[in-house]
């Protein structure tokens, strides 16, 4: 299984936009991350984000360095 293209493109955008990275890092729930991505034209589902979150390790993700339990709780 391969990471959805929209998710990869969204990460690429985040890699080059400090303001968006801060918005994602401070997101209180996954739906906010999905909204931020959609505002940049990258649509992916809650289910896709949750499934691939364990592979998304960039420091701008809220679950970065928080551990698997914290990451799972973020998606509940």
> CA angle at residue 31 from 29 to 36, to 5 degrees?
105
Is 0.75 topped by the overall pTM? yes
Residue 35 CA, chain-centre distance (Å), reads 10
| pLDDT grade for 26, boundaries at 50, 70 and 90 | very high
Q: What is the pLDDT of residue 76?
A: 93
Closest CA to 39 of 60, 59, 17: 17
3, pLDDT greater than 90? no
CA distance 16 to 29: 22
Please, which pLDDT band fits residue 55 given cuts at 50, 70 and 90? very high
Residue 41 falls in which region: left (phi positive, over 0), alpha (psi -120 to 50) or beta: left
Q: Where are the domains positioned within the chain?
A: 5-74
Residue 16 pLDDT > 90: yes
């Amino acid at each position: 299984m391969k990471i959805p293209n929209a998710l990869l493109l969204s990460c690429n955008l985040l890699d080059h936009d400090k303001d968006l990275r801060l918005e994602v890092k401070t997101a209180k729930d996954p739906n906010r991350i999905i909204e931020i991505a959609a505002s940049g034209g990258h649509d992916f589902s809650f289910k896709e984000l949750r499934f691939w979150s364990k592979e998304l390790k960039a420091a701008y993700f809220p679950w970065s360095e928080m551990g698997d339990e914290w990451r799972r709780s973020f998606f509940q």
